[in-house]
Amino acid sequence: MVLFRNEGNTSTLFQFTGKTKILTKGSLSPNFNIKVSRNRRHGAKDILHKKGISNREFRMRTVLSGTDRFTNLTTLTALAIAETTIYLDTEDIYDTYNGTYVFDRRFEHDIDETKNIITIKFNLLEEAN
């Protein structure tokens, strides 16, 4: 289970449960840049300056189904519109990814009533640096 909690990590705003595709389709695979610079000197080996990584960005993709799919869509849309800072809690799946995130750039949804599913795509940006 993956939870979106409030910024203080005290209450749950949204939870992904059941046969969610958030894990199986790789939504918890972060994108980031590695900050390494080289200092080249004449006649010497490269000296690397390691400066960490940029903020993690998750390109989330999930499928909502069941009778609550429209309620869940409304809840996630409201969180994105309000530019809510959330605490991502992966419930011991990837504890290194736990932390505060903001909705970034796009929020898209596609309603497929023939299959009774709603596909949502959005980005989460880590608030670390």
Structure tokens that stand for 70 in this block: 């429209």
Angle at 121 between CA 117 and CA 125, to 5 degrees: 145
List the chain residues with pLDDT less than 70. 18-26, 40-47, 129
Domain map (residue ranges) of the chain: 2-126
Give the pLDDT confidence score for residue 115 in this predicted structure.
Answer: 92
Report helix, strand or coil for 74.
Answer: helix
Q: Provide long-range contacts, Cβ within 8 A and 24+ apart, for 45-49.
A: none
**Phi, psi at residue 66, to the nearest 5°?**
90, 180
What's the distance, CA 47 to chain centroid? 34
pTM of the predicted model as reported, rounded to 2 decimal places: 0.76
The residue whose two tokens read 């389709």 is 25
Fold of 2-126: Elongation Factor Tu (Ef-tu); domain 3 (2.40.30)
